[in-house]
Amino acid sequence: MLPDFSDRITMSLTELSGTPTPEPATTTGKPARPARRTSPFGALLLRLHFYAGILVAPFLVVAALTGLAYTTTPQLDSILYGDQLTVAQAGDRQLPLAEQIGAARNAHPDGSITTVQPGDGDRTTTVVFSLPELGENQHTVYINPYTGESQGQLTTWFGSTPATTWLDDLHRHLHLGTVGEHYSELAASWLWVMALGGVILWWRRRGAARAAARHLLVPDLSTGKGVRRTRGWHATTGIWLTVGLLFLSVTGLTWSRYAGANFAAGLDALSARTPEISTSLTAGGPAPAETGGGHEHGAAGAGGVVESAAFDRVLTVARGAGLSGPVEITPAPEPGSAWTVTQVDNTWPVRKDRIAVDPASDTITARSDFADWPLLAKLSGLGIQAHMGILFGLVNQILLAALALGLLCVIFWGYRMWWQRRPTRVDRRAIAGTPPARGGVRGLPLWALLIGVPVTVAIGWALPLFGLTVLAFLVIDVVVGAVSRRRRPAAAPTSPAPAGS
């Protein structure tokens, strides 16, 4: 099904599938034991798995390396920006938010305040300013909540520090923008295919259930050295990683460019999106007060100048409503609208409840609790946090790092098998092995084609980059096969043996 390009740059079907080599006839005249024939399904899956490994693995290597680097961002942030993110010594009592916001405004006179995240423990209070020239970025000022001292500012992206933002962009699109996003989506689109295909091929090779169970967690190293030993490490390590690789593939696709758009459309169709919270107030409702004096420093919000003391009142309402832990306060988007307070604790168990508050009357006008979200919205949110290494803290980081390193090892062993299967005879020497045999599709029964083709088309529609690459591989394979048949010399006609021979 997939291209074989050249008989000198790929691996043999017999060795990849584990099909035993036919035994030669013995001196006693007994016929050799026939080799086990590979089914069309096995041949097709083998060819698909092999070429996906050869052609897509480089993209997976890049994704694994950049993802591995991203797992270190919490520690990098602590090293690079510890002076901004934390205070040297936590006090007994925090200053009112109005005073802290006033200190932030003094340190950053320009821009509109978009969000405020009160400090807690040794964390500083973050006051985020938006400026038209920054685009999606913001300036974040870090205030010591106990002394009101500004500890500096950073250019952030949705709360992420410059180092985290840089590594995130590297992992998502290699700093190439929209063009670079194709690499990560292609890797995620094929990762699940390669993982599941490897599991099926491994199971077909194992044969007996007892052997399958014995080598599920321990590589089969009893078959000697060379390619068989390498295959043992490749297969068993892949089994260990399967669940994690499937998780990374699915969660990575949810926010990819094309497959992610289809996923979002599916959530909309199922009414499974994260619920919105209304910030509208009743018609003719009072607008936020704009008084001065005391600690009421002017804080330029999205809707203009708002009362800084309102941040303290809104925070008090939120705490009384049960919004504990770290929260983010967002001023009204426009005059006469409600403010929002959102829990931003993304570690397990997560706290993501939200309320809308009328700062003029200090009343809650709307509420959205995480417990009431649709199941798919919950799973999507939790999956993204786990993919980013946040959900389970340090344990999450270690698991992601182990997945990345394991995937790199599996890819290395795959390429090593390819190299180990190369012909070494002087007259047939090549840099790599021979390819899996063609013709798996032709051997499939009709019912398999009637089911498989529509399923493949549906998957290709949902995952466009996967569908396009499968189609490209199929076209190349057909062309190469046709060229190979045209170049194959015709069999020489046989002449009858001379009489009396």
pLDDT tens-digit series, residues 283-331: 544 444 433 333 344 444 443 445 688 999 999 999 999 999 999 999 9
The burial of 366, by beta-carbon neighbours within 10 Å (0-12 exposed, 13-18 middle, 19 or more buried), is given as middle
State the Cα–Cα distance between residues 83 and 153, nearest whole angstrom. Answer: 10
Locate 102 and state its tokens: 């006033």
**Residue matched to tokens 């609208």:** 337
Does pLDDT of 430 surpass 80? no
Query: Whose CA is closest to 227, among 44, 431, 422?
Result: 422
What is the maximum span of the chain, computed from C-alpha positions, in angstroms?
Answer: 125
pLDDT band for position 489 (cuts 50, 70, 90):
low
State the Cα–Cα distance between residues 232 and 413, nearest whole angstrom. Answer: 9
Virtual torsion, Cα 471, 477, 480, 485, nearest 10 deg: -130
pLDDT (0 to 100) of residue 486: 79
Mean pLDDT (whole number) for 214-239:
80
The burial of 276, by beta-carbon neighbours within 10 Å (0-12 exposed, 13-18 middle, 19 or more buried), is given as exposed
Query: Whose CA is closest to 217, among 204, 232, 205, 196?
Result: 232
Q: How confident is the prediction for the chain on average, in pLDDT?
A: 83
State the Cα–Cα distance between residues 387 and 70, nearest whole angstrom. Answer: 10
pLDDT (0 to 100) of residue 472: 85
Does pLDDT of 384 surpass 90? yes
Does pLDDT of 8 surpass 50? no
State the Cα–Cα distance between residues 464 and 475, nearest whole angstrom. Answer: 17
Does pLDDT of 449 surpass 70? yes
- Residues 49 and 151 sit within 8 Å (Cβ to Cβ): no
**Residue matched to tokens 């169709």:** 269
Please state whether the peptide bond connecting residue 349 to the residue before it is cis, i.e. omega within 30 degrees of 0.
yes
- Residues 95 and 149 sit within 8 Å (Cβ to Cβ): no
pLDDT band for position 219 (cuts 50, 70, 90):
confident
pLDDT band for position 42 (cuts 50, 70, 90):
confident
pLDDT (0 to 100) of residue 483: 79
Mean pLDDT (whole number) for 29-45:
62
Mean pLDDT (whole number) for 271-282:
89
State the Cα–Cα distance between residues 235 and 410, nearest whole angstrom. Answer: 8
- Please list the residues that pair with 117 across neighbouring strands: 126
Phi, psi of 130 (to 5 degrees): -105, 145
Mean pLDDT (whole number) for 25-30:
46
- Please list the residues that pair with 300 across neighbouring strands: 305
- Residues 112 and 127 sit within 8 Å (Cβ to Cβ): no
The 8-class DSSP code of residue 223 comes to T
Does pLDDT of 394 surpass 90? yes
* Bigger pLDDT: 24 vs 413: 413
Please, which residues have CB within 8 angstroms of residue 426's CB and are 6 or more apart in sequence?
none
Mean pLDDT (whole number) for 49-56:
87
pLDDT band for position 231 (cuts 50, 70, 90):
confident
- Residues 365 and 357 sit within 8 Å (Cβ to Cβ): yes
pLDDT above 70 as % of the chain: 78
Instruction: Give the rounded distance of the alpha carbon of 32 from its chain centre.
Output: 50
H runs (alpha helix) in 1-136: 13-17, 40-70, 73-85, 97-107
- Residues 111 and 129 sit within 8 Å (Cβ to Cβ): yes
Does pLDDT of 481 surpass 60? yes
State the Cα–Cα distance between residues 293 and 311, nearest whole angstrom. Answer: 15
Q: How far is CA 417 from CA 43, 47, 56, 78, 226, in A?
A: 18, 15, 16, 42, 8
Q: Helix, strand, or coil here: 159?
A: coil
pLDDT (0 to 100) of residue 227: 84
Please, which residues have CB within 8 angstroms of residue 399's CB and are 6 or more apart in sequence?
244, 392
Does pLDDT of 499 surpass 70? no
Mean pLDDT (whole number) for 125-136:
95
State which amino acid sits at residue 110.
D
pLDDT band for position 338 (cuts 50, 70, 90):
very high
pLDDT (0 to 100) of residue 292: 35
* Bigger pLDDT: 110 vs 420: 110
Does pLDDT of 9 surpass 70? no
Residue 246 has, within 13 A of its CA and on its CB side, a CA count of 11
H runs (alpha helix) in 177-226: 178-206, 209-214
pLDDT (0 to 100) of residue 20: 40
pLDDT (0 to 100) of residue 493: 54
3-state secondary structure 268-337: HHCCCCCCCCCCECCCCCCCCCCCCCCCCCEEEECCEEEECHHHHHHHHHHHHCCCCCCEEEECCCCCCE
Asked which of 71-75, 97-101, 181-185, 497-501 is least confident by mean pLDDT, the reply is 497-501
Does pLDDT of 491 surpass 60? no
State the Cα–Cα distance between residues 78 and 81, nearest whole angstrom. Answer: 6
State the Cα–Cα distance between residues 144 and 314, nearest whole angstrom. Answer: 20
pLDDT above 90 as % of the chain: 59
The reported pTM is 0.82
Locate 275 and state its tokens: 């619920």
